[in-house]
């Protein structure tokens, strides 16, 4: 690396915290800023506020050395060459991203600028946000020669965010000046030149010194669209395979075989072709809605995105119908719910399909005992303990005395259950799998009635006899 860059990251959520420790990991000096004093104090003491693989070890490695935490935004900006904005951009009522947090931060940055700074959008924002940031800075009296605004979208998946940062498919830099582009090139040079990958403690992954990370420089507007378009396309793949799964079910085909056959086509690929409960989390629902709103504002008919969202919302309701049709009625039934987070390897429950399904179970009069390896503390705020809502310490405790077991999150742990033990715990051997973690033949061999997504249901002999009686 030519020389370390002093970096300020504003926001210590998933994106900001991961970016902070990863910038430190590749050799830069980082100040992470947040206005939540309690959270900053936790980070100063070495605490890890989110569940993310590799994050604890990198925080420990660089704590108070490569990265420090503060609430002093002005001081951090003054000490830094590049300022990354990684604050929340929640979805508003119209579907548009709420940029009020970004604007508030930019206003604070403006008061702290005393020398040239590169202001970097790391939050997911709509096209032309770079221009609005520029206008806000100039309205606060910052001269145009004192800053540049760059778009550097993140492509991080919760559960593998550290690896996605250090071993990226691509690094996108949207810069409208060569000076600011060079600053970003310097920041990412340890990844793009490959020097990081030869370090003894480097996290091993698909990139290496001979196959380093790729950096693409575009205009700021193009970079902003790349982020929204990428997430919208991945959401489209998920909704598409879920729509195909409905067709497969109606003709007794197997969506797993169909997805495998499609994924072998190099033009399509196998990723995001997993039928199930649909997408959730903090990115896809928000980004699909925001991109649709952007298109509407520009007079572009992009109703395909509306259909993507509609299919995704319907998928949860269809799963609840599967549960109801399997159990006949839900009132008074005891349900084991395996999974609360929107996907495995994270404790994030934002827009989680699992939470939506459990709420429907409770509203229908069922009692639910839930288990998740990481997300139960967060879930208790949305699904508080009650006479109907309970939490277990493991999957088998959740299944004890259950009329049916629902698999709602694709944790590896749930794909490796001891099926004999599970069968001993349940009242009735019924598994309704919203993530297709098992083979129907396997579940039938263990005596389960097994209902999944996009595949014919399998009934054990007692259930089959009841159905044909």
Helices (H), 113-219: 129-139, 161-166, 178-192
Query: Closest by alpha carbon to 418, among 394, 451, 452, 392?
Result: 394
* Chain position carrying tokens 């490569």: 66
The full DSSP string for 268-319 is T-STT---SS---TTTHHHHHHHHHHHHHHTT---THHHHHHHHHHHHHHHH
6-10 vs 29-33, strand pairing mode: parallel
Annotated catalytic sites, by residue? 283
Q: Is the four-CA dihedral 107, 112, 115, 121 of positive or negative sign?
A: negative
Burial class (CB within 10 angstroms; exposed 0-12, middle 13-18, buried 19+) of 193: middle
What is the rounded CA–CA span in Å between residue 219 and residue 174? Answer: 5
Beta carbons of 34 and 11 less than 8 angstroms apart: yes
Give the orientation angle of helix 129-139 with respect to helix 220-250, to 10 degrees. Answer: 140
DSSP secondary structure letters along 283-295: THHHHHHHHHHHH
Length of the chain, in residues: 469
Nearest to 205 by CA among 184, 186, 191, 189: 191
Angle at 164 between CA 159 and CA 169, to 5 degrees: 140
The CA distance from 203 to 81, in Å, is 27
Give one word for 345, left, alpha or beta, with left for phi > 0 and alpha for psi -120 to 50. left
* 120: β partners: 84, 150
**What is the Cα–Cα distance from 271 to 349, expressed in whole angstroms?**
22
At 275, which helix (H) or strand (E)? none
């Amino acid at each position: 690396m030519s020389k370390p860059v002093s970096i300020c990251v504003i926001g210590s959520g998933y994106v900001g915290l991961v970016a902070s420790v990863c910038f430190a990991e590749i050799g830069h000096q980082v100040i992470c800023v947040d206005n939540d004093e309690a959270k900053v104090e936790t980070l100063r003491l070495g605490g890890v506020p989110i569940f993310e693989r590799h994050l604890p070890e990198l925080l420990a490695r660089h704590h108070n050395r490569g990265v420090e935490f503060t609430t002093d935004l002005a001081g951090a900006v003054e000490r830094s060459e590049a300022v990354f904005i990684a604050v929340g951009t929640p979805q508003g009522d119209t579907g548009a991203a709420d940029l009020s947090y970004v604007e508030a931060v930019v206003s604070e940055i403006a008061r702290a600028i005393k020398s040239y700074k590169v202001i970097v959008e790391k939050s997911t924002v709509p096209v032309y946000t770079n221009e609005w940031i520029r206008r806000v800075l100039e309205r606060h009296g910052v001269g145009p020669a004192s800053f540049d605004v760059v778009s550097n979208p993140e492509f991080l998946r919760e559960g593998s965010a550290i690896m996605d940062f250090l071993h990226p498919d691509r690094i996108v830099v949207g810069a409208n000046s060569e000076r600011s582009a060079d600053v970003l090139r310097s920041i990412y040079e340890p990844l793009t030149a490959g020097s990081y990958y030869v370090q003894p403690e480097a996290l091993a992954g698909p990139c290496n010194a001979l196959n380093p990370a790729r950096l693409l420089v575009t205009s700021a507007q193009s970079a902003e669209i790349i982020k929204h378009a990428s997430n919208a396309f991945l959401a489209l793949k998920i909704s598409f395979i879920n729509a195909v799964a409905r067709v497969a079910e109606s003709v007794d085909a197997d969506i797993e075989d169909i997805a495998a056959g499609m994924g072998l086509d190099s033009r399509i690929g196998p990723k995001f072709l997993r039928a199930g409960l649909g997408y959730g989390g903090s990115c896809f629902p928000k980004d699909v809605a925001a991109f649709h709103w952007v298109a509407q504002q520009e007079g572009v008919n992009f109703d395909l995105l509306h259909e993507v969202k509609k299919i995704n919302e319907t998928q949860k309701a269809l799963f609840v119908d599967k549960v109801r049709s399997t159990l006949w009625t839900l009132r008074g039934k005891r349900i084991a719910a395996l999974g609360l987070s929107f996907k495995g390897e994270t404790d994030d429950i934002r827009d989680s399909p699992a939470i939506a399904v459990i709420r429907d179970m409770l509203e229908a009069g069922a009692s639910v005992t839930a288990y998740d390896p990481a997300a139960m503390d967060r879930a208790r705020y949305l699904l508080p303990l009650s006479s109907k809502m309970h939490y277990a310490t493991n999957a088998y405790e959740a299944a004890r005395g259950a009329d049916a077991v629902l698999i709602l999150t694709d944790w590896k742990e749930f794909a490796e259950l001891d099926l004999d033990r599970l069968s001993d715990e349940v009242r009735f051997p019924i598994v309704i799998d919203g993530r297709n973690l098992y083979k129907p033949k396997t579940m039938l061999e263990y005596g389960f009635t097994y209902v999944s997504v996009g595949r014919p249901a399998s009934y054990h002999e007692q259930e089959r006899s009841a159905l044909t009686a």
